[in-house]
Structure 1
Amino acid sequence: MSSFRTGSLTVHVHANVVEMASAAAEASAGIIANAIQSRGSARIILATAVSQVEFFHCLVENPRIDWSRVTVFHLDEFLGITENSPSSFGYFLTKQLLSKVTVGTAYKINGSSLLPLKECARYEALLKEKPIDLCCVGVGENGHIAFNDPDVADFEEKSWVKLVKLDERCREQQVKDEVFPTLKDVPLYAYTLTIPALCHSLNIVGVVPGRHKAEA
């Protein structure tokens, strides 16, 4: 492993995905365990993308986490998609985490809500109830974090959850990642936690596997 700093960010470069996922899970487990020891519970936000599968596996297997004391959120969701759709991030969260451990509480974004703006407000209120101890993020090929594509990422955003239009490269990545079969199947809009919402987390861990993410 090698490390370097850029601004206030510390970057660790690992030889392969397994090593990276294991290290990120160990760091995350420590943060969660410390929060539970200090306050009796932990609140975390997770990225739900195929790039995070190995990280989820390592996180689930880590014995330091008392999942019954953990409240889980996720970063984003496609607009107009139901939770039981294999393409939804709520489905991914259940498959990769909630079906394997018993968490205290899991809050999912309702992608199929008929009142999207009210859904944004509902999820934002839940996030703001107490401090977020840990936010685990990935980075998309176009540089997006959650669904904050470069052209809509706003560091001064007042809201914590908003609707965004996905750019073409972001939608193409969903096809590459086999989330959707074709580009026309990828929704044009999505819910996302905003940059200020992520930055309010007490700790942030990024898991970014693959040389194809180097530009981002």
Structure 2
Amino acid sequence: MRVHIVESYEELSTKAASIVSSQVILKPNSVLGLATGSTPEGMYRNLVQLYKRDLIDFSEVISFNLDEYIGLDANHQQSYTSYMFNNLFNHVNFKEEHINIPIEAEDKLQEFCLKYDKKIERAGGIDLQVLGIGTNGHIGFNEPDNKLKTGTHIVDLAEETIEANSRFFNSKEEVPKQAVSMGMSSIMGSKKILLLASGENKAEAIKNTINGKITTEVPSSLLQLHPDVTIVVDKAAAKLIK
């Protein structure tokens, strides 16, 4: 693992965008795994600015998002589909047919999950996977458990995750209780991984990711087994790293 500790969220966002843009510049038809949540927002803003300055071209890039809520319409303002279009896709030149987000009619979800994994395989796997991290060490919506699903799957969200995500909704009761998430095999099969974390509330999870024992009870700790992981954290998130 390569760990970069930066001074601020703004510096984290700039560095993350430079890593993603370097990947796309070196391989214009890169397959990117994309994350949602508050942490990557600054990275996406920086990528949009690089595009507007003609410094990056997304026309050949293929994207696969990590996850999506079950039970929210794609047009709902808190769906991850809306998040991605509002923060990135509406502002750059991704081709619509290159955008992949793991959601389908609810009665077809099991079948869709299998197809999503096959589609990643047909694309040649993910070149660079961007990850955030939950306070409990979840990546994507792979929640702490005594075992983890390897493929894209339906997941019951942990109480900590529902609580953390409630800030985006009018109330905790509005937060969906289930999601579709890319599984650990697709994440770990990525050629490169970029993990981002900001804020003191992520410090324990980052400590366990880097220095903790490898356990499915802290899904992010499995990243210790990957050969090419870059972690970018601000000082607050890095405060427990020794």
- Give TM-score, length-normalised by structure 1: 0.87
Q: Which residue is equivalent to 1:102?
A: 93
Q: Structure 1: which 5+ runs fail to align?
A: 1-8
1:167 aligns with 2:155: no
C-alpha contact (below 8 Å) 1:32/1:133 kept by paired residues = no
Alignment-derived partner of residue 228 in structure 2: none
Structure 1 CA distance for aligned equivalents of residues 170 and 105 of structure 2: 20
Equivalent position amino acid for 2:13 in 1: A
Pair 1:51–1:112, CA change in 2 (3 A): farther
**Structure with higher RCO (Cα < 8 A, 6+ apart):** 2
Per the TM alignment, residue 65 of structure 1 is displaced from its structure 2 partner at its CA by 2.4
**How far is 1:64 from its partner?**
3.9
Letter in 1 for 2:181: T
CA shift at 1:70, angstroms?
0.6
SS of equivalent to 1:121: helix
CA distance in 1, matches of 2:83, 2:182: 17
Match of 2:227 in 1: none
Question: In 2, Cα distance between the equivalents of 1:49 and 1:167?
Answer: 16
Q: Once the two structures are superposed, what CA deviation does each residue of 1:183-206 show, in whole Å capped at 9, x if it has no partner?
A: 211121111011111111111111
The count of residues paired between Structure 1 and Structure 2 equals 199
Range with greater deviation from structure 2 (127-136 or 102-111): 102-111
Match of 1:65 in 2: 56
1:1-216 pair list within 5 angstroms = 9-36=1-28, 41-62=29-50, 63-104=54-95, 105-110=98-103, 112-129=105-122, 130-151=124-145, 154=148, 157-159=149-151, 161-176=152-167, 178=168, 180-216=169-205
Alignment-derived partner of residue 226 in structure 2: none
Distance across 2 between alignment mates of 1:150 and 1:143:
7
Contact 2:66 2:101 in 1 (8 A): no
What percentage of residue pairs aligned between the two structures are identical?
27
Q: Distance in 2 between matches of 1:175 and 1:195?
A: 25
Provide TM-score, normalisation by structure 2. Answer: 0.78
**Structure 2: runs of 5 or more not aligned:** 206-242
The separation in 1 between residues aligned to 2:104 and 2:134, in whole angstroms, is: 20
Q: CA deviation at 1:114?
A: 2.5
Counterparts of 1:95 and 1:152, CA distance in 2: 36
Deviation at 1:214, TM superposition (A): 0.5
Change in CA separation of 1:138 and 1:54 when aligned onto 2, cut-off 3 Å: same
Rounded to whole Å, the distance in 2 between the matches of 1:65 and 1:32 is 7
> Can you list the C-alpha shifts for 1:97-118, whole angstroms capped at 9, x where unaligned?
1110011311122254321101
Q: Secondary structure of the residue that 1:33 maps to in structure 2?
A: helix
Q: Is the 8 A contact 1:79 1:111 kept in 2?
A: no
The one-letter code matched in structure 2 to 1:73 is: F
Equivalent position amino acid for 2:108 in 1: L
| Counterparts of 2:137 and 2:130, CA distance in 1 | 15
